Amino acid sequence: MGITEQSTIVHDNSKEQQLHEHEEVEGEDGFAAKSWTRRYIAIGALCYVYCVSLGPYMMLAPIITIINQDLGPDPGFAWIASGWTVAAAVGLLLVSTVSDLVGRRWVAVSTTVLAIISAILGITAQTIGQVIAANVMLGLNQAGALTGFAGIAELVPTRARGIAIGFANLTVGVWSICGSLFGHEFATHTGPGWRSIYWLQLATNIVGLVAVFFSYYPAKPLLAAHQSRRNIIRTFDYVGALGIIAGPTLMLVGIINVSQYSPSSGRFLGPFIAGVVVCIALGVWEAYGTKNPLLHPFLFARFRTFSLICIVTFLSGGLFFYGFQALFPQFLVLVFGNDARQTGIDGIPLGAGTWVGGVSSLFLLKPVARRIGTTPILASGAFATALFVPLLALVDGSSKRMVYGFTCFAGFGTGIVDAYTLPLITLTAPDELIGLAIGTVGFMRSIGGAAGISVFSSILSSKAATLIPARVVPAALQAGLPETSLAEFMGVLTGATPGVEITDISGVTTEIVQIASAALRDAYLAAFKYIWYSGIAFSVSAFLMSLFIRDLSAHLTGKTPQHLKQEEIASSSDHLEEVKAVVIENECPKESDPQIS
């Protein structure tokens, strides 16, 4: 590997080269005198910024209907959550890649400033459009916060990356477990209502800005170590950056539109096809059109490491589980009749399982991988997800005990896939491209999640449209509902006709409502079974692919790629003191010198 003046990286993708990419070399740190206290403070600041970036979204996403009721109604209110998804996914891929070249300090600072602006906009928002804009900024902030994982990974030895990233995930446990519950509590039991979340976002990110500004001073990026700033600007891949923004954004917009419009709609086909074309053109450009590609195609040729990890993340952690996770609150409401608060409580086992699975796998990465390798751990997570989500088809609606158990274990498996792939993906790439590695796997998770939500939402809508009339109409008519009241009754029962008391409809009795409600619950239960079954193909494919990922335990070494600027100063000071000591020693006569009487 070598870096020329134009920053062209020459790699052969041989196993020999990959094996030695993270090999510890004596004296590799050069003049850097490690100060672990400074590093721990810098890592702590990056972890805090990640925590306060994710928290607001985890509370806002479950209450977008409440926000729409307050400021709307607006038919585009779903983009409060979707705007965050698009901004976070595309922003992460671009920002993390660019940070390899220009550094991560100002990425962390500037995106934290964006969170503060987002909070102010959210606090003062008077329209749904303003809330969407606030959450787009919050998504870009999340992209910068996730890029901080690359900053964390390069400041510790490769064997400690699991623990370091595990600590970052440890800080977000409260949001993973209780984010939905907290969001509903803020919205319904505080004076400012849902705006309280933005007030919390404002306060915590001001603290985060101060922390990261004064503690995180990484040395010059490894990828630009031999380049001037002018040369970086002159040789930057501007076409690639534009393609990274345009292609994935168009694809995501199209995918998200599927859940609101049909797959044959122009609102899906137009942006999606355009996005695919742009992404294909981007791939050709990055491979053949530029000497300084942002996406470094050689990494994607590492199929059994880099590419397979991305594919497994897309299928299991993204498409399958995120799609399930998005529809799970609807499942609780439609099948069990949960209110918003109870939905948040019933989601705790899922959040707790996901958090515990992710954190535990990261902290155990080094000791377990040394004994059995890295592949079995990742495969076990994909297997648990593939097993326990489809088991929800056994739920009959009479008890939530199976729901709690299956979602907890499914979350545990997905937590492993989501979290464990972060340190693993950094071990598949050279040290100077850690940002690209983190950004790619994060982008694959996000685009997979968007696809999963759209696919599963479409399945639910289509199956419910046939199962509800087939089951509810006969049950209601047999219970004594007059046919003349059927259309109005079905509209009120399913929520399509709001604001009407169902018992005010002509011929409707309490018994009819109870029988029809039970039939409606059974119809939704049957519709959701198609979702649980349809996910088997994705999850089993992810599990089988995970078995072929090459073991990366040999890369868990003592090599620490990056250092802080303060350590350079400390190292220079130490060197100066050593020089002074040598000079003094040479100038001062010793007692054994024969010239001294």
> What is the pLDDT at residue 597?
34
> What is the pLDDT at residue 172?
92
Q: Per residue in 449-499, pLDDT tens?
A: 888 888 888 888 889 999 999 999 999 999 999 999 999 999 989 888 877
Below-70 pLDDT ranges, the chain: 1-20, 24-34, 569-597
Contacts of 105 (CB under 8 A, 6+ apart): 212, 216, 217, 218
Residue 96 located in a structural domain: no
Q: Are 279 and 247 in contact (CB under 8 A)?
A: yes
Residue 514 located in a structural domain: yes
> What is the pLDDT at residue 6?
42
Domain that holds residue 479: 303-551
Residue 590 DSSP one-character state:
P
> What is the pLDDT at residue 227?
82
Q: Considering only CA atoms, which of 126, 114, 125 is closest in space to residue 87?
A: 114
**pTM as predicted:** 0.87
CA distance 140 to 438: 15
Residue 203 located in a structural domain: no
Alpha-carbon distances of 163 from 79, 160, 424, rounded to whole Å: 35, 5, 12
Residue 264 located in a structural domain: no
Residue 141 located in a structural domain: no
Q: Are 174 and 459 in contact (CB under 8 A)?
A: no
The DSSP annotation for 285-307 comes to: IIIII-SS-SS-GGGGG-IIIII
Give the number of domains in the chain.
Answer: 1
Report the CATH number at residue 334. 1.20.1250.20
Contacts of 234 (CB under 8 A, 6+ apart): none
> What is the pLDDT at residue 584?
56
Residue 586 located in a structural domain: no
Residue 412 located in a structural domain: yes
> What is the pLDDT at residue 495?
82
Q: Are 252 and 91 in contact (CB under 8 A)?
A: no
Q: Are 438 and 146 in contact (CB under 8 A)?
A: yes
The DSSP annotation for 501-556 comes to: -GGGSTT--HHHHHHHHHHHHHHHHHHHHHHHHHHHHHHHHHHHHHTTSPP-GGG-
Q: Are 122 and 198 in contact (CB under 8 A)?
A: yes
> What is the pLDDT at residue 297?
92
In whole angstroms, how large is the CA radius of gyration of the chain?
27
Residue labelled with tokens 């997570």: 381
Residue 417 located in a structural domain: yes
CA distance 584 to 580: 6
